[in-house]
Chains A and B, each alone.
Chain A
Amino acid sequence: MKIGVLALQGSFHEHQAILQTLGVQVVQVRLPQELDGLDGLIIPGGESTTIGKLAVDFNLLQPLQQFGKEHAIWGTCAGSIFLSKDAHRQQPLLSLMDIQVERNAFGRQVDSFETDLEIPVLQSVSKEKPLFHCVFIRAPLIEKVGTGVEVLAKLPDGRIVAARQGHLLATSFHPELTEDARFHQYFLEVVQ
């Protein structure tokens, strides 16, 4: 299996390192032709405005949209914003997932937090209790999901922080900042 990591900016090395522990071939994607032959793509955390601008500047927007029609894409934090249809702000978006996100929904960096959340779908990759350590950094929130979008994780107050629409996956938090590869394994299942 060959998985791409969008390497315009952000935590792409962290994603790459976890994928490599799972025995996957990883390709850094900075230009449209680097999408050729990939089975799936991860859009990392970073700054969504930076990633969006560079995607426009290097003509990646349309190829990424085309790729997402046929292949699995997972966006973490900034990546989830980039996948969304609506971020309440003028900035380049892929508009692939029928979700509405609010950027910096929890406040500034001093409000960033980490917590364990229950993510039932992780039971498909591991029999252990599906608690996952979630790291939220100036994180977005998934405010609304359209029909056909499955909610994968919520905060105790019910706000949505992970969702799946077919082969598209969005998380407000950063599994790439943990040692736990279960979310990446789950993504590889989505890819297959």
Chain B
Amino acid sequence: MGAEEKGTFKLKVGLAQMLKGGVIMDVVTPEHAKIAEDAGAVAVMALERVPADIRAQGGVARMSDPELILKIMDAVSIPVMAKARIGHFVEAQILEALGIDYIDESEVLTPADEEHHINKHAFKVPFVCGCRNLGEALRRIGEGAAMIRTKGEAGTGDVVEAVRHARRVLGEIRHLQNLPEEEVMAYAKELGAPYELLMETRALGRLPVVNFAAGGIATPADAALMMQLGVDGVFVGSGIFKSGDPAKRAAAIVKATTHYNDPKILAEVSRNLGEPMVGRQVSDIPEDQLIADRGW
């Protein structure tokens, strides 16, 4: 019998594999976390403000108070994630010390470094990172991310950017698969992606880690749309707790993510959910206020 190994890349990716087909929900209180768990969330993202409030209130958005994160960890039996600022490896060290299950190095918070992301290989805790395209996804995986989420545009309730980023990543993978091997190096240069990871992606026909969608998903139909486009699961941020009936909407989005290919069930679960989050059309947001552009 061999020794026990901890903190391996396989274990990091493995937890994300266990979240597949599920919904990860943003929560700001232990009570929200319970509602999310009871609705069938596979994990919760513990934070002080949902993205819609971060957007509205402005200011510097940082890692949440560890006290709040610990209370949320105590409240539920499912995995708990929390966000660190891009490049802020000390926030990540603190989150790891708290025993968090996954760290989201997130563009939703104000970046701490405008050139470099965290070296995620240096941690035992797994990381999820956002991306808008294949190059960005593979750069993050190269730094040690064990899970990827397409960014979308957080806090808007507008799914358009989530669709754009998922189509971009999945489309670039399809293109990559059609390239003869001698053209892959030039494509790596074009995308700014590590060559070895590009070759691995080409062989697998998908990203080498689990890929969720995020940023603007607000309805069961939005969740099913992302699943049909080919992602492994969804993050819902402001879309649940900024709606009229969070418990009901949360449960409906969970059902829609499982039965994403069954329009009859989607019609049934979409009925009578109360007010969706008001939302903000991405095309009305000035370019310098777009969150998804953060990340290098």
Contacts and interface: CB of A to CB of B under 8 A. Distances in A.
A113 B255 contact: no
Given A9-B22, A45-B18, A113 B11 contact: yes
B14 A113 contact: no
Interface stretch (B46-54, B95-103, B134-142): B95-103
A49 B37 contact: yes
A109 B18 CA distance: 12
Interface residues of A, number: 42
Interface of A: 7-14, 30, 45-47, 49-50, 53-54, 57-58, 77-78, 89, 103-104, 107-118, 131, 135, 137-138, 156, 174, 177
B271 interface: no
Nearest to A91: B77
A157 to B, nearest CB: 11
B251 to A, nearest CB: 8
Contacts of A9: 20-22, 42, 257-258
Contacts of A137: 11, 14-15, 18
Given A49-B40, A54-B254, A54-B258, A112 B15 contact: yes
Given A30-B259, A109-B79, A109-B102, A135 B18 contact: no
Nearest to A76: B18
B17 interface: yes
Given A53-B254, A112-B11, A113-B6, A7 B101 contact: no
Interface string B80-107: 0000000000000000100111100000
B92 to A, nearest CB: 13
22 contacts: A7-B258, A9-B20, A9-B42, A9-B258, A10-B20, A30-B258, A30-B262, A46-B18, A49-B78, A50-B78, A53-B254, A54-B254, A104-B77, A108-B73, A110-B6, A110-B125, A111-B6, A112-B14, A114-B4, A114-B8, A138-B18, A138-B79
Nearest to B21: A9
A104 B178 CA distance: 43
Interface residue range, chain B: 35 or more
Given A109-B126, A115-B4, A116-B1, 4 more contacts: A50-B22, A108-B100, A111-B6, A138-B18
B287 interface: no
A110 B7 contact: yes
B2 A116 contact: yes
Given A30-B259, A54-B40, A47 B6 contact: no
Contacts of B124: 110
B1 A118 contact: yes
B79 A12 contact: no
Contact of B101 (A13, A49, A114, A138): A138
B15 A46 contact: no
B20 A54 contact: no
Most buried by B among A11, A14, A89, A114: A114
Nearest to A12: B21
A33 to B, nearest CB: 12
A113 B78 CA distance: 18
Contact of B17 (A8, A49, A177): A177
Contacts of B126: 109
Given A115-B3, A116-B2, A137-B15, A110 B99 contact: yes
Interface in B3-55: 3-8, 10-11, 14-15, 17-22, 37-43
